[in-house]
């Protein structure tokens, strides 16, 4: 069985250089005839690891690493260990998908309808206002036409201060309709752009107006001072409820402009005859979504602990090797190593591991999973505390990234099926070379973008600024609207210059650059195929060896 775990490392997608390093370390840890202790200093690394409960069963560093790299099914077969982490990550992916789909299809529709309602209906316009009578009349018109409230509810404006009007309406399926039955609300704020009246006399120097403290004559003077009056609607709350109904609470503020300055006009509060949302539940909870968030929170915390523990085991293995390498390099542990060429070979292999390749001791998938779990925990907590309501853009983005990460995290288990993992292996081999090539090609691309903006920007909208120029060239690279862009450049500049510009760009970026990049990717694909073939052959050799050992044991 021990050999089986070591074979798991050789037949996995682990970097071959790491496999060779661990095998050399195991050779150094074998007893040496010239040493009194009978074991090399590299064996100390294994002894330190074996003090840990999880690694006490192994007899070599290769077996330790092989156990880490073994597939969940192999561990289940060899040790009867149920692949908890696999089922856990699969459950998280399904729950995250359900969470995002529910929020997008149900709550997202509310937000889209609300924004459309604000943009299309609640941006008020009116004629210039010159006096208080006209002001009250404008408010009456706005409220009656847009919100369908009685005129009498606006004529009590001298009761209290300041001017804050809350209008409650019922939305069903995104449509606003008149009803005396209220609904309830959600934590999202959207507001219209204040629309100001204009062409009024301008003589008042104050910026704070309190109509309660002014006499009738002073109020009449306001008709000579207001240069602009506008109304702004704020969606204070909008909350989903069963049956597809929503309660909208509108905060409507009155603004004024004096001497080109803006301020808030302090008006008495306007009372309306609208009923509150208390007739319906004030704290709506969608039970299925709550349970999804609860289980997702629990599973994400559990996954975080398991992955963090696995990351710690990888660090223990890396730390054990690092300490022994440092001792060798300082000459403090050479007394019990009698095979110089093996020691030298081990140190040379270690030196070939650059910083980036040493990070392969730690599975980058674990770091990705940890980041995803953190976002899932935060997003689920916010949704639970917010009663499943649709959050702001930042929270929604984080929930979406967490769901995408949960689905992508399932790709890590494809590495146990090398032929299915071919795409990731191709990216692993091709990406470093591709990035170096893309960096150089980007400089040429930006040079063409700047040149196009200079030559054609004054007369062609396609090159009006750097961003538009980059977008236009990207469309040309993909073969979109080449004829239209070429005609626009010909009209904006000399036809010869435009032809040279387009032909040279197409030659360099479409024919040369893309084909070179394709060649780099093909080379990476060939390397990935060779690696998959080597892994497959190693698995077959391991299976054949186990069959021979089993037949010998049965014969005995």
Lowest-confidence segment of 119-128, 372-381, 540-549 by average pLDDT:
119-128
Distance (Å, whole) CA 350 – CA 322: 9
Peptide bond before residue 162 is cis, with ω within 30 degrees of 0: yes
Distance (Å, whole) CA 548 – CA 326: 41
Read off the pLDDT of residues 163-187 as tens digits, 9 standing for 90 and up: 233 333 333 333 333 333 323 222 2
Please tell me the predicted confidence (pLDDT) of residue 404. Answer: 92
Confidence of residue 502 (pLDDT cuts 50, 70, 90): confident
504 shares a domain with 426: yes
Region 55-60 average pLDDT: 59
382 shares a domain with 280: no
Phi, psi of 266 (to 5 degrees): -80, 105
HSE value, Cβ hemisphere, 13 Å, CA-based, for 404: 6
Nearest Cα residue to 116 out of 69, 175, 158, 160 = 175
Please tell me the predicted confidence (pLDDT) of residue 5. Answer: 54
Q: Report the domain count for the chain.
A: 3
To which residue do tokens 């309501």 refer? 389
132 shares a domain with 280: yes
Q: Are 111 and 188 in contact (CB under 8 A)?
A: yes
Domain boundary among 416, 443, 477: 416
Does residue 415 register a pLDDT over 60? Answer: yes
280 shares a domain with 293: no
Average pLDDT, the chain: 64
As given in the structure block, the two tokens for residue 194 are 């204040």
Which CATH number covers residue 506? Answer: 1.10.287.70
62 shares a domain with 138: no
Please tell me the predicted confidence (pLDDT) of residue 286. Answer: 63
Region 448-459 average pLDDT: 86
66 shares a domain with 156: no
Confidence of residue 521 (pLDDT cuts 50, 70, 90): very high
Region 360-388 average pLDDT: 83
Confidence of residue 119 (pLDDT cuts 50, 70, 90): very low
Q: What is the DSSP letter of 160?
A: B
Q: How far is CA 480 from the centre of its chain?
A: 29
Confirm whether 93 is domain-assigned: no
Q: What is the DSSP letter of 166?
A: E
Please tell me the predicted confidence (pLDDT) of residue 66. Answer: 66
Lowest-confidence segment of 202-206, 255-259, 313-317 by average pLDDT:
202-206
348 vs 246 pLDDT, higher one = 348
Query: How many other β-carbons are positioned within 10 Å of the β-carbon of residue 360?
Result: 15
Region 198-202 average pLDDT: 32
446 shares a domain with 522: yes
Nearest Cα residue to 91 out of 295, 367, 273 = 295
Domain boundary among 267, 284, 301: 284
Lowest-confidence segment of 39-53, 93-107, 254-268, 349-363 by average pLDDT:
254-268
CA angle centred on 462, ends 459 and 464, rounded to 5°: 60
Please tell me the predicted confidence (pLDDT) of residue 17. Answer: 62
Does residue 543 register a pLDDT over 80? Answer: no
* 229 sits in which H/E element: strand 228-241
293 shares a domain with 255: no
Domain boundary among 263, 284, 305: 284
Read off the pLDDT of residues 205-219 as tens digits, 9 standing for 90 and up: 233 444 445 565 665
Distance (Å, whole) CA 173 – CA 442: 48
Does residue 111 register a pLDDT over 50? Answer: yes
Confidence of residue 509 (pLDDT cuts 50, 70, 90): confident
Confirm whether 110 is domain-assigned: no
- Domain encompassing residue 155: 124-284
Confirm whether 187 is domain-assigned: yes
Lowest-confidence segment of 58-62, 315-319, 367-371 by average pLDDT:
58-62
Confirm whether 99 is domain-assigned: no
156 shares a domain with 272: yes
Confirm whether 258 is domain-assigned: yes
Please tell me the predicted confidence (pLDDT) of residue 433. Answer: 87
User: Residues of the chain with pLDDT > 90: what percent?
Assistant: 10
Please tell me the predicted confidence (pLDDT) of residue 196. Answer: 34
Lowest-confidence segment of 161-170, 332-341, 394-403 by average pLDDT:
161-170
Confirm whether 69 is domain-assigned: yes
Distance (Å, whole) CA 58 – CA 66: 10
User: Residues of the chain with pLDDT > 70: what percent?
Assistant: 44
Under DSSP, is residue 274 helix (H, G, I), strand (E, B) or coil? coil
Confirm whether 96 is domain-assigned: no
Query: Residues for the chain: how many in total?
Result: 556
pTM for the model: 0.58
Does residue 444 register a pLDDT over 80? Answer: yes
71 vs 107 pLDDT, higher one = 71
Does residue 451 register a pLDDT over 50? Answer: yes
Please tell me the predicted confidence (pLDDT) of residue 272. Answer: 32
Q: Identify the top-confidence range among 63-72, 250-259, 366-375, 422-431.
A: 366-375
Confirm whether 78 is domain-assigned: yes
Read off the pLDDT of residues 123-154 as tens digits, 9 standing for 90 and up: 333 333 344 454 445 545 544 443 333 333 33
Under DSSP, is residue 167 helix (H, G, I), strand (E, B) or coil? strand
402 shares a domain with 350: yes
246 shares a domain with 162: yes
Query: Would the CA dihedral through 234, 239, 243, 244 be positive or negative?
Result: positive
Does residue 462 register a pLDDT over 60? Answer: yes
Please tell me the predicted confidence (pLDDT) of residue 303. Answer: 92
What burial class does residue 484 get, using C-beta atoms within 10 Å of its C-beta: 0-12 exposed, 13-18 middle, 19+ buried? exposed
Region 38-43 average pLDDT: 48
315 shares a domain with 170: no
Phi, psi of 233 (to 5 degrees): -100, 130
């Amino acid at each position: 069985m021990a050999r089986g775990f070591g074979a798991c490392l050789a037949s996995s997608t682990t970097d071959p250089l790491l496999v060779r390093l661990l095998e050399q370390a195991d050779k150094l840890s074998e007893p040496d005839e010239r040493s009194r202790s009978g074991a090399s200093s590299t064996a100390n690394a294994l002894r330190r690891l074996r003090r840990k409960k999880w690694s006490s069963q192994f007899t070599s560093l290769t077996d330790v690493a092989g156990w880490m790299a073994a597939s969940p099914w192999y561990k289940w077969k060899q040790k009867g260990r149920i692949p908890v982490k696999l089922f856990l990550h699969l459950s998280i992916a399904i729950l995250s998908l359900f969470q995002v789909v529910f929020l997008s299809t149900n709550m997202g529709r509310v937000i889209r309808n609300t924004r459309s309602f604000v943009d299309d209906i609640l941006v008020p316009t009116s004629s210039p206002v010159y006096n208080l009578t006209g002001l009250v009349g404008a408010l009456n018109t706005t409220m009656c036409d847009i919100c369908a409230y009685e005129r009498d509810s606006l004529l009590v404006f001298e009761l209290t201060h300041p001017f804050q009007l809350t209008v409650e309406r019922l939305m069903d399926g995104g449509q606003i309709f008149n009803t005396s039955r209220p609904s309830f609300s959600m934590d999202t704020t959207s507001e219209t752009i204040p629309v100001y009246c204009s062409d009024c006399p301008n003589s008042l120097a104050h910026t704070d107006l309190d109509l309660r403290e002014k006499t009738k004559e002073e109020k009449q003077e306001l008709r000579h001072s207001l240069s602009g009056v506008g109304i702004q609607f704020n969606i204070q709350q909008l909350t989903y409820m069963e049956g597809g109904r929503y309660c909208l609470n509108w905060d409507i503020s009155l603004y004024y402009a004096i001497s080109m300055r803006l301020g808030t006009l302090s008006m008495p509060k306007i009372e309306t005859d609208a009923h509150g949302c208390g007739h319906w539940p004030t704290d709506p909870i969608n039970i299925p979504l709550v349970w999804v968030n609860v289980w997702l929170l629990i599973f994400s915390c559990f996954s975080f602990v398991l992955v963090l523990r696995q990351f710690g085991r990888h660090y223990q293995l890396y730390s054990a090797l690092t300490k022994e390498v440092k001792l060798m390099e300082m000459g403090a542990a050479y007394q019990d190593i009698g095979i110089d060429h093996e020691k030298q070979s081990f140190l040379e292999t270690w030196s070939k591991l650059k910083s980036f390749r040493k990070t392969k001791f730690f599975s980058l998938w674990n770091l990705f999973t940890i980041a995803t779990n953190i976002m899932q925990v935060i997003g689920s907590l916010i949704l639970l505390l917010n009663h499943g309501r649709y959050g702001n853009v930042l929270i929604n983005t984080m929930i979406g990234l967490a769901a995408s990460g949960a689905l992508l995290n399932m790709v890590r288990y494809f590495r146990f099926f090398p032929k299915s993992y071919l795409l990731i292996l191709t990216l692993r081999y091709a990406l470093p070379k591709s990035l170096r090539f893309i960096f150089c090609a980007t400089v040429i691309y930006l040079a063409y973008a700047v040149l196009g903006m200079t030559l054609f920007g004054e007369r062609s909208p396609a090159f009006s600024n750097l961003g538009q120029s980059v977008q236009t060239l990207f469309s040309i690279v993909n073969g979109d609207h080449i004829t239209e862009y070429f005609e626009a450049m010909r009209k904006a500049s000399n036809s010869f210059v435009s032809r040279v510009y387009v032909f040279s760009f197409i030659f360099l970026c479409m024919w040369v650059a893309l084909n070179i990049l394709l060649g780099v990717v093909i080379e990476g694909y060939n390397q990935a195929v060779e690696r998959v073939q080597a892994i497959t052959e190693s698995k077959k050799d391991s299976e054949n060896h186990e069959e021979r050992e089993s037949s010998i044991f049965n014969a005995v």
